[in-house]
Structure 1
Amino acid sequence: MKSLHNVQAHSFASDNYSGIAPEVLEALTTANGGHQAAYGADEYTALLDDVIVKHFGSTATAYPVFNGTGANVVGLQALLPRWGAVICAATAHINVDEGGAPERMGSIKLLPVPTANGKLTPELVDREAWGFGNEHRAQPLVVSITQTTEMGTCYTPEEIRALADHVHARGMALHMDGARLSNAAATLGLPLSAFTTEAGVDVLSLGGTKNGALGAEAVVVLNPDALVGGAEALPFVRKLSMQLASKMRFISAQIIALYEGDVWLNNARHSNAMAKRLRSKLEEANLPGLSFTQATESNAVFATLPDGIADELRQDFHFYDWDATRNEVRWMCSFDTTENDIDAFAAAIKQVWA
């Protein structure tokens, strides 16, 4: 089959637009030979447990799933009784971009809180952490944070620990959507455990797809005691949530390819560096009417543009509006974004201004 698209074209719309990392493609080919037991009883899924323990500690257990929405829904369900609710940022992926899946598929009430930069604080959590024992209100029993956030900002370990201590003191659990967890590690210069397990996170959605995988995520249980029904309950939640892969070896092999060595970190460092390169070039250009709305702490650049600029740029480059009411756009970089891609995009932006 011949290619149906321009393989030289790179987009700034989403890191989901990127291809598959070469190491992941090689791992899929390796895993494809012969037969292996289904539903996770294979050699690759067994090895994945060792890889996860290396990064997150001896209590960590991984449950591979198909996608990030599935990871979030499975992880949150495992932390909640039927009457439980989740406090999250208003911009959280579970609230904005998952089609109501937590509510429809997981029967989970979401309690969104507006934030300035996508990050929750103990004070913001307390806006919805009330009504405990009131049978007329869904009980706020989990706080979910995203690392890095949907605004491209990054929680420090201290910020996460403050949240964990705050919610645990109230009998709540802490969930982390780590779709871009690797980008956070690249920004912080810390091992993954430093801002997850050691910072008090109970359950993690571990990302792979945005960082070079074909379609591979995992629910990582860091604190089994936080699960409703205990650790043995999560496999049943995964199955009834339609996230149990029969040929699980192909999901596990992808995550191993990313996290067994340094592929995950190298990819994230590169995509972060490309975002910083783009912002730096535009700051140097000092274009009138262009302003940056968030700190560039990962692989995302948020900016506001004068009227008409975004539409003209989109004739050649694909990217999304973030808040069209104020001409705010989001430019995403990926593990396979090149310096030439950045330079060409920055030159096009300057040309539109000219």
Structure 2
Amino acid sequence: MTDPQPARHFASDNYAGVHPEVLDAIVAANVGHVPAYGDDPWTERLQDVVRGHLGESATAYPVLNGTGANVVALQAMLPRWGAVVCTEAAHVQNDENAAPERVGGLKLLTVPAPDGRLTPELVERQAWGFGDVHRAQPGVVSLTQSTELGTVYTPDQVRALCDQAHALGMRVHVDGARLANAAASLGLPLRALTTDCGVDVVSLGGTKNGLLLGEAVVVLDPAAVDGVGYLRKSGMQLASKMRFVSAQLVALLEGDLWLRSAAHANAMAARLRAGVDAIGTLDVTQPTEANAVFVRLPAAVAAELRRRWRFYDWDHADGTVRLMCAFDTTAQDVDDLLAALRDALARA
């Protein structure tokens, strides 16, 4: 089998490889025998690193992937009769094959959010029926940061949701697969978008920011969860050789790699957005606040671009596609795509 030609696409930041500093961390952890299932020096160090970012009460539970992180977190936050309020575009709703419902035994209560962001007014649409035995009980508000539409919640917006949820006796979960991109976009530390706003639990992303695999369920308020460790095991998310997951997370978070990588991805998306705007004839459907650009493309133009690049159709009805940048996207990658886009439009 011949090696595939190296390529960088715009479909997802999951397409990117592993950051070299993360690979180095995996190699450095590959020494001798250490206890399995998290009783190792790397996982212990991760706790210190996470507390440095998110506060002294934070506890990290490394898991294998983002869906696992969300399912374990939401299961731990809710009773069997509980429900989660989220947007119709949320990753837990659209991109996890109903795992929160099938595996977690939860009910998702969705609301429309044109820019991907929940508001207290939107939450009110589903946060009702408390004590009604006929209705799944709203117990958690789950927001995605940055959102699936590439927008970012400000601290004030997160705080408003937390204040509302807590007043109703509910908890707040952040699906933080791209939390680093949101923090980089706003120029804020991770805790400013989570702990300081009153968030209870975070699914802290790693794979979309340069890890081989690995995320973490980070509990900010211990009173918000029950049995996380047991649920992680029963949910098949407890890695036996956890040191290799924890070592990656430590490499990402101990210094500024998380910020450098996310800021670069954001910058490449901003460059792409500026180039699309300069063309002047295309409709960009969402603000570019993190590392994604949403733009409507004529079908013939999209087909021509797909001869070289992969990207996602977001709305088949109106031709909206998502162009996603990653930690390893280069300025030349962006400029090549823009040049091809201009040529395709001219021919169309």
TM-score, normalised on structure 1?
0.97
CA distance in 2, matches of 1:83, 1:316: 48
Aligned to 1:26: 24
Consecutive unaligned residues of structure 1, counting only runs of 5 or more, are: none
Counterpart selection for 1:272 from 249, 266, 275: 266
CA distance in 2, matches of 1:188, 1:59: 24
1:250-277 CA-to-partner distances (Å, cap 9, x unmatched) read 0000000000000000000000000000
CA distance in 2, matches of 1:313, 1:324: 16
Aligned to 2:86: 88
Counterpart selection for 2:302 from 310, 323, 328: 310
Taking only aligned residues, the RMSD between alpha carbons, in angstroms, comes to: 0.8
Aligned to 2:244: 250
The alpha carbon displacement at 1:156 in A equals: 0.1
1:210-231 CA-to-partner distances (Å, cap 9, x unmatched) read 000000100000011111x3xx
1:31-89 CA-to-partner distances (Å, cap 9, x unmatched) read 01111110000000000000000000000000000000000000000000000000000
Consecutive unaligned residues of structure 2, counting only runs of 5 or more, are: none
Could you tell me which amino acid in structure 2 is paired with residue 264 of structure 1? W
The alpha carbon displacement at 1:4 in A equals: 2.6
> Is 1:155 matched up with 2:147?
no
The alpha carbon displacement at 1:3 in A equals: 6.3
Could you tell me which amino acid in structure 2 is paired with residue 6 of structure 1? Q
Partner SS state of residue 251, structure 2: helix
CA distance in 1, matches of 2:278, 2:135: 52
Could you tell me which amino acid in structure 2 is paired with residue 182 of structure 1? A
TM-score, normalised on structure 2?
0.98
> Is 1:234 matched up with 2:228?
yes
Counterpart selection for 1:217 from 190, 215, 218: 215
CA distance in 2, matches of 1:128, 1:205: 23
CA distance in 1, matches of 2:337, 2:94: 28
Aligned to 1:329: 321
CA distance in 2, matches of 1:10, 1:100: 30
1:98-121 CA-to-partner distances (Å, cap 9, x unmatched) read 011000000010001111111000
Aligned to 2:345: 353
5 Å-filtered alignment, 1:1-354, equals 4-7=3-6, 9-227=7-225, 229=226, 233-286=227-280, 288=281, 290-354=282-346
Could you list the runs of 4 or more consecutive aligned residues of structure 1 that deviate by over 4 angstroms after TM superposition? none
CA distance in 2, matches of 1:165, 1:198: 12
The alpha carbon displacement at 1:315 in A equals: 1.1
CA distance in 1, matches of 2:78, 2:32: 40
